[in-house]
């Protein structure tokens, strides 16, 4: 299990700007998670939920995770691997440059490579943090998702 990286202060966070912070543990994307995401979002395309049809007709030979499911895993990856002492809360502020170079097949394992790009202090004891995230597929040639995410942490 990858140890959680805990920054001691805003200054410590700033000192790590421009560095790769962590590579998370592998996480298996099971069909049950794909189905739950389909149910929650209403995206019921057969490529995601119909295992028999996907075996017959899909170029991937099985169902695949929604791109937005893969993207949503950034929240879990970041929260499980990075923290900062003294924060009262953190919020997602937005995303930049999101791409899905390769699909995640049901049953495949993914992990996230996280880089701390920048830390901008804001008024009121807060900071805007920009992260580069690359979600990798075990045994994959291309990443599943590449995104720049922006969070705000309050101290």
CATH number, domain at 116?
3.10.129.10
The reply to whether 121 falls in a domain is yes
The reply to whether 51 falls in a domain is no
Q: Which domain holds residue 149?
A: 5-29+70-154
Write down the pLDDT at residue 1.
77
Question: Under 8 Å CB-to-CB from 8, ≥6 apart: which residues?
Answer: 84, 85
d(Cα 22, Cα 4) in Å, to the nearest integer? 9
The reply to whether 49 falls in a domain is no
65-74 pLDDT, tens digit per residue, is 999 999 999 9
The reply to whether 128 falls in a domain is yes
Query: What global pTM score does this model have?
Result: 0.95
The reply to whether 85 falls in a domain is yes
pLDDT-derived band at 35 (thresholds 50, 70, 90) equals very high
Question: Domain count of the chain?
Answer: 1
Smallest Cα–Cα separation from 150: which of 110, 124, 120? 120
CB 107 within 8 A of CB 91: no
Write down the pLDDT at residue 3.
87
Helices (H) and strands (E) in the chain, counts: 5, 8
The reply to whether 37 falls in a domain is no
pLDDT-derived band at 96 (thresholds 50, 70, 90) equals very high
The three-class DSSP label of residue 14 is helix
pLDDT-derived band at 2 (thresholds 50, 70, 90) equals confident
The reply to whether 43 falls in a domain is no
d(Cα 144, Cα 99) in Å, to the nearest integer? 8
The reply to whether 102 falls in a domain is yes
């Amino acid at each position: 299990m990858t140890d959680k990286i805990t920054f001691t202060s805003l200054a410590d966070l700033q000192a790590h700007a421009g560095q790769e912070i962590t590579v998370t543990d592998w996480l298996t994307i099971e069909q049950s998670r794909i189905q739950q995401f389909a149910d929650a979002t209403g995206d019921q395309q057969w490529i995601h939920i119909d295992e028999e049809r996907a075996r017959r007709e899909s170029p991937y030979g099985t169902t695949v995770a929604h791109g937005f499911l893969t993207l949503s895993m950034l929240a879990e990856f970041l929260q499980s691997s990075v923290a900062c002492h003294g924060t009262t809360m953190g919020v997602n502020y937005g995303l930049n440059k999101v791409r899905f170079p390769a699909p995640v097949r049901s049953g495949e394992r993914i992990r996230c490579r996280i880089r701390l790009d920048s830390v901008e202090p804001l008024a009121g004891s807060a900071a805007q943090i920009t992260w580069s995230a690359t979600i990798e597929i075990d045994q994959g040639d291309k990443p599943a998702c590449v995104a720049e995410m922006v969070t705000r942490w309050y101290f």
